[in-house]
Each structure stands twice: as structure tokens, then as C-alpha cells.
Structure 1
Amino acid sequence: MDPATLSDHDRAVLDIARRQWAGPGAKERAIRERLGISPARYYQLLNALLDDPSALAHDPITVNRLRAIRDARREHR
């Protein structure tokens, strides 16, 4: 799929996921301010994006890193 099929909102979700955040609450503040959604909704959207081929094409490093973390957590349970 073409990465252009991702919405601006989807790209913003991935941009937040890509960054390293300093200090407690910084990421949550950015989610609310930049995306206008709750952190819980952000993580729901992010999880769906991890399975989207367009997201993988747009940012393979971030998507593959987060998929590995998600898979490790699933195996641990």
C-alpha cells in the first residue's frame, strides 16, 4: 500500500510513537495537545496502525520496533 493513504492524524500518531519523551507525563500531554484525544484512545489507534501496511511503509523502523514490543508482551502473558 502507498504510505500516502495514511491520514495526517495517523501520521501524527506515529510521530508521537517515534519520539523519546523526557519526564513523566510529557507524552500524555503531547497526545492531548497535538491529537486532541485521550492517551487510551491514542494507544488504541496506535495498536491498529501497527497492523496497517501503510503505516509500515511510512515508518518501518517505528512500526517494527513497536510490533516487537507488543509481541513480547503478548508472549509474556
Structure 2
Amino acid sequence: MVGDEGLGEREVGVLALERMSWASPGAKERAIRERLDMAPVRYYQLLNALLDDPRALAHDPVTVNRLRRVRTTRRTDR
């Protein structure tokens, strides 16, 4: 989905990577660089912003809600 109502390709790509499981350390970071052509730091900044974006929730509610729970747990543990 691209346009005013939906997410851009990059945002959709971020959510798609978050649905995947990673077999080895560094595999996710390598995929971020290769598939999305961005630094992992920028990826996580974008991901955090997506978790508060209603368009992301509409696009992939299972992934967004799971990541919101993880984020809340991590914030609570600090």
C-alpha cells in the first residue's frame, strides 16, 4: 500500500521484517541493510514511530500489537 491512506514501501518492509524469525545473531541487522538499505539504528527509529501510527496498526495489527507489548514491557522493566 502506498499513498495518503496507506504505508510506504519502506514502512511495509519494516513490518515484514518484524514478522520474521532470525536464526543467528546479526542476521536481522544484515537483512535490514540488504533489503531496506538502511542502518539498523534508523530502522529501529522508524519501527518505534510505526508502533504509534494507526496506519501500521491497520496494516498489520498482530505484529504491531505484539511489538507494542514488548515495548511496554521493556519500558516497565527499566
Q: Which runs of 4+ in 1 moved over 6 A?
A: none
- Percent identity among equivalent residues? 65
Q: How many pairs align? A: 74
Q: Tell me how far apart the structure 2 counterparts of residues 76 and 16 of structure 1 sit (CA, whole Å).
A: 25
Q: Tell me how far apart the structure 1 counterparts of residues 55 and 15 of structure 2 sit (CA, whole Å).
A: 11
1:28 aligns with 2:29: yes
* Structure of greater relative contact order (alpha carbons < 8 Å, 6+ residues apart): 1
For structure 1, the 5+ residue unaligned runs are none
Instruction: Please give the TM-score of this superposition, normalised by the length of structure 1.
Output: 0.92
Q: For residue 37 of structure 1, what is the aligned residue in structure 2?
A: 38
Q: Secondary structure at the match of 1:20?
A: coil
Question: What is the one-letter code of the residue matched to 2:26?
Answer: G
What is the RMSD of the two structures over their aligned residues, measured on CA atoms?
0.8
Offset of residue 65 of structure 1: 0.3
Question: What is the one-letter code of the residue matched to 2:34?
Answer: E
Instruction: Please give the TM-score of this superposition, normalised by the length of structure 2.
Output: 0.91
